[in-house]
A and B are shown apart, each in its own frame.
Chain A
């Protein structure tokens, strides 16, 4: 049995025995900087724009909704089931498919849609990242299949960075089978080192911060 064989080889190589415990690993290194919300928002929007993402600040959910409506004018859109999107009135905008819970149906809709609209569980200010946790409220493919992605995030969810995220969520596996950090539009430089956006994931990403 390869499992026992390999574990045995590992132990022999390390001079350890089966069932032997371990000394404590080096303590984790988590450093959370002290940054106020306005500064976080500014940093995050700048980071996203530096990655050729688009940003918009909406004072209220209604404003966010109006912005999204204009952005998806004439296009087909799919929205995740995030309660926040419903709160903003985005899920019920004309031209937006939402409330899908069937996997095959979702896949088909996402594959055909021009725009995918989501919220985000958190955002990371220093890198301009969205934190997408898969669950009943957010499916994986909405922010992945359509060529454009719009994320609408209330300001309270903006964290300073990865360290803060991991201190709030020390084990993401407790919450979900998939946590994805999205940092800018999909890109590649695989041919002659020339940058091209929108390879497999969305080539256009717009982050709307509300509040």
Chain B
């Protein structure tokens, strides 16, 4: 794996406090989710999952149709749709609009899609102030970091770190009581909401049949972002599309429960177009930016296309024994956890971090909890195969390829396999009852060394099974 990846994993594993924070936070979310999807709590759970998968499959397979339907309906309600092929085009659009309107201050609600394109950084270059308003995002923005987890952006920080951050960046007296820290943020951000020229949100769902964006949250910052400023821009990946408002009866039941164990989050907003005549408040202008940024590269592959069904609930992160150890910041891109492991190589190319698909024990916990039944392990296995094919083409890692070819060859020659086994056993210490702690230096290389760095090795038995069987 890359040195960077290895280092980040190592540093996270070595930080005992962080280990506790990640494990506890994800454990709690995992627990809450499971309480809401038991056979008693939600007897129709499996049915809903199948329905969600079927609806997403249909939508993605006919995505062009639904994109156009969405566009028509947005425009029928007085909104505008803009297509952006990448982050540059998103930023260009926002900057141009801001300039035209003389806008300086932007409030933003949590959106992984905008993280994906580093929107805030791009806007800041033009002298625009873009303020994150979700408490966790506000905190990581002040810290100049990426969010740690899809649902809990500041999972990795303690109240003391937040206190230091607020004192340093907001110029307030040091405050370590969490309720009071929240009140500080509320006060600061309220001023921003009421003064902002533009509100930028993501979208949990795009509803083709309505020309609407659906947004879920617990704090109220999304409602404020999309209601107080005169301009609302929703930025969403093209894959967020669902056909009908009525499909929300399926998706909303799954999203809240899977993400945080809530039946519904505190606020669910269904927004279509600028305010209508007779509506006292709401934006005068409504834009939806539809982002590609690599999604069309992913689309042709029938096997891996399901990676686009994701509704960003975060359940896979909370279930993943690997995420629960290495946390969000070890991952090479903004998307972490099992979903991050499959979309990162597909959006960024497998050479971005070739070992990423291998950073999994394939335990399947992610697939078990995914509300849309994305077969994440299957996609990981396909990506692994692609990585190895690329290595062969580029003539890299030839030793490993050779070793596996030799092993396959050996396994199709049973007598030789048997001999090789006996040879290896004879090189090992004689059959004792204790496991092996270390081996002599010349042998302490490669996989053997890696194994022994963490655990003991089993002693070789005096006889193999087939020898014992023959002697019966």
Contact = CB atoms under 8 A, between A and B. Distances in A.
Direct contact of A and B (CB under 8 A): yes
A13 B300 contact: yes
A152 interface: no
Among B64, B189, B250, B271, the most chain A Cβ lie within 10 Å of the Cβ of B64
Nearest to A199: B219
A182 B65 contact: no
A74 interface: no
B463 interface: no
A190 B152 contact: yes
Interface stretch (A34-42, A86-94, A163-171): A163-171
A126 interface: yes
B264 A183 contact: yes
Contact of B299 (A13, A26, A102, A106): A13
Contact of B62 (A16, A171, A177): A16
Contact of A170 (B48, B246, B281): B246
Q: How large is the interface on B (under 10, 10 to 19, 20 to 34, 35 or more residues)?
A: 35 or more
Nearest to A165: B249
B67 A7 contact: yes
Q: How large is the interface on A (under 10, 10 to 19, 20 to 34, 35 or more residues)?
A: 35 or more
Contact of A25 (B58, B68, B264, B271): B58
A3 B296 contact: no
B301 to A, nearest CB: 9
Given A10-B238, A140-B281, A177-B271, A200 B227 contact: no
B248 A166 contact: yes
Contact of A178 (B89, B181, B227, B299): B227
Contacts of B136: 188, 190-191
A11 B245 contact: no
Nearest to B163: A191
B282 A178 contact: yes
B435 interface: no
A100 B65 contact: no
Contacts of B286: 177
Interface stretch (B97-105, B272-280, B402-410, B464-472): B272-280
28 contacts: A2-B89, A2-B292, A5-B83, A6-B83, A10-B299, A13-B296, A25-B55, A25-B58, A26-B54, A28-B246, A29-B250, A140-B281, A166-B245, A166-B246, A167-B246, A172-B212, A177-B77, A177-B282, A183-B264, A190-B134, A190-B139, A191-B178, A192-B178, A194-B178, A199-B219, A199-B221, A200-B223, A201-B220
Interface of B: 21, 24-25, 28, 44, 47-48, 51, 54-55, 58-59, 61-68, 73, 77, 83-85, 89, 133-136, 139, 152-155, 157-159, 162, 178-179, 181-182, 185-186, 189-190, 193-194, 207, 209-212, 218-221, 223-224, 226-228, 238, 243-250, 252-253, 262-276, 278-282, 286, 290, 292, 296, 299-300
Given A14-B62, A186-B267, 19 more contacts: A9-B296, A10-B67, A29-B250, A106-B281, A111-B194, A140-B223, A163-B249, A170-B246, A173-B212, A177-B271, A180-B223, A181-B267, A185-B266, A190-B139, A191-B136, A196-B179, A200-B193, A201-B224, A201-B267
